[in-house]
Amino acid sequence: MSESGARPSEEPVIPPTIVVDAIETDEETPPPAPAVAAPTTAAPTTAGPDLERPGPLALLAAGFVDVFARPRVLLLLVVLSAFAALPPALVVADSADLHLAPLADAPSGPELLRGPIPGRLFQAWEQADPDVRRRAGLTLAPLWLAASWLGLLVCAGWMATARARALRQRGGHGLADFLAGGGRFFFPFLRTWLLGLPLFALATWLVWGRPGAWLMRLLLPPEGDPAFAAGETAARWVENGREIVALLLVFGVEILLDLARAGLVAGGRRSALLALFRGLGVFLFEPLRVLVLVGAGLTFELLLLAVLSALTDAELLPLWSLVLLLPFCRQLCRGARWAGLLRLCLIGRPAAASR
């Protein structure tokens, strides 16, 4: 573990606590130290870490700063989001051009976007081109997988960028470095992605497979306890609860995978399997911090979306502006969450962080 040229101005923001990582076998060979300045860590201290560790909201805020500090990256992602979504839009627009644009007695564009739309219009359109909505949807199928993988690259990029900023490394802040960071961790992330698939399958099976069906049979008619769920209210709660549990499980797996990835970047490691266990460890040891960080990030994102929705409803924003504003807000919030998680994982890992 090298201690090279620590300068007061380059003190890491992470607290100077050393946690001995017992499993170091998955660490990659440390990359060569940057020519200008090497990453540094402070000397170990015995100071109580809890007193100095930033809270989850501070980590999230730092994440936002990390993302805001990379406007070119953000711009790239916004443009990419907009372009990736074009195929279905073009299919729909093409069909509308053929079947909606020539109609004489239909509402014009602005009325279509804002006002009540006569259902007969869509009915006529659907009759003339019955397949358009399905066709447009199907163009998303390959894009869905590509987006999922691209998400890995972006996640790795934000985490690598946040790591560099957290460690106050020089260089490594540009668009190319974002992509390089993303590229460096893409394959380890892809391995976590692959490991995530059985976890998603497990979550799905638990809720929608035999265990879930068994529970539903216990609770709901016809086989279930009629005294419990004879009414619609109880049945709705059970059904809604099932959906919510399913979503929470999926969120749980996502958080676990994100923590694993943050651990990979924070520690400069390569083993996806061990990273998953480490992520689980972090989650189990600090569930509140993780949940508050992620939850606050999501809440903030939803708030932003609600504001955008209200502004467009009030016609203070043109609808077309959402094409750019929505990806901007969402990429910003997602990037901040990832950066915040990375910082969370960096805490107490100066040794790994130094690499």
Partner 1 sequence: MPTRRWPAARLAARVLLGLSGLAALPAQVPGEGFHLPDRLPAQSLRNANYRIHAELADDGATIEGRLVADWRNPTEEPAGELLWHVYNNAWAGPESFFLRRQALLGGSGRPRSWGGTEIRSVRLLGEDGEPDRELSLAWRPPEEAPGDRTVLATPLPAPVPGGGRVRVEVVFRAVLPPAFRRSGTDGAGGYVHAAQWFPKLGVFEERDGRTAWTCPPYQPLTEFYSDYGVYEVELVLPARYRGRVAATGSVLAEEDGPGPDRFTLRLRAEDVHDFAWTADPDFLVVEQEFDPAEWADPAEEQRVAAALGRPVEAIRPRPTRILLFLQPEHEELGPRYLEAACRALRDFQLWFGPYPYETLSIVDPAHAARATGGMEYPRLITGGARLGGHPRSLSPESVTVHEFGHQYWYGLCGNNEFDHAWLDEGLNSWSQARVLARGWKPSLATYRLLGRERAGAAPVEFPAFPAHDPRALLLLDRWDSPDLRFLPPLGLDLRHPTGLERWLAELPPLSFWPEVVQDPFLRRRRALARDWSDPLLRPTRELIDREMMRTNAYDRPVLVLETLARLIGDTRMTRVMRAFAEEYRFRHPRPEDFFAVVRRYGAGAEYGGGRLDLDGFLRQAFVENRSLDFGIRRLEALPAADGPAAEGSPRWDVVLELRRYGDFVLPVEYRLIWEDGESEDGVWDGRDPWLRLRWTASARRPRAAILDPNDRLLLDRSEENDTRRLEPDRSRTLAAGLRAWIWAEQVLHHAGGRG
- Residue ranges in 305-344 that form contacts with partner 1 under rule CB under 8 A: 305-306, 308-309, 312, 319-320, 322-323, 326-327, 330-331, 334
- Residue ranges in 18-57 that form contacts with partner 1 under rule CB under 8 A: none
Is residue 41 within 8 A of residue 3, CB to CB? The reply is yes
CA dist., res. 28 & res. 18, Å (int): 19
C-beta of 68 vs 205, nearer to partner 1: 205
CB of 167 to partner 1, least distance (A): 26
Q: What is the dihedral of CA 45, 49, 55, 56, to 10 degrees?
A: 90
Is residue 346 within 8 A of residue 15, CB to CB? The reply is no
CB of 66 to partner 1, least distance (A): 18
C-beta of 10 vs 126, nearer to partner 1: 126
For partner 1 (CB under 8 A), the number of binding residues is 104
CA dist., res. 151 & res. 193, Å (int): 10
- Residue ranges in 255-294 that form contacts with partner 1 under rule CB under 8 A: 257
Is the Cα torsion angle 159, 193, 282, 4 positive or negative in sign?
Answer: negative
CB of 293 to partner 1, least distance (A): 15
Candidate residues 49, 215, 254, 304; the one interacting with partner 1 per rule CB under 8 A: 254
- SS3 label, residue 104: coil
Candidate residues 18, 37, 200, 270; the one interacting with partner 1 per rule CB under 8 A: 200
- Residue ranges in 146-175 that form contacts with partner 1 under rule CB under 8 A: 147-148, 150-152, 154
Structure token pair of residue 74 = 């953000």
Is the Cα torsion angle 202, 205, 207, 211 positive or negative in sign?
Answer: negative
C-beta of 19 vs 230, nearer to partner 1: 230
Neighbours of 25 (CB within 10 A): 9
- Residue ranges in 108-147 that form contacts with partner 1 under rule CB under 8 A: 108-110, 112-113, 115-120, 122-128, 130, 133-134, 136-138, 140-145, 147
C-beta of 37 vs 84, nearer to partner 1: 84
- Residue ranges in 202-231 that form contacts with partner 1 under rule CB under 8 A: 204-205, 207-209, 221-222, 226-227, 230-231
CB of 103 to partner 1, least distance (A): 5
C-beta of 1 vs 247, nearer to partner 1: 247
CB of 189 to partner 1, least distance (A): 10
Give yes or no for a cis peptide into 222 (omega within 30° of 0). yes
Beta bridge partners of 269: 27
Q: What are phi and psi of 269, to 5 degrees?
A: -100, 175
CA dist., res. 198 & res. 219, Å (int): 28
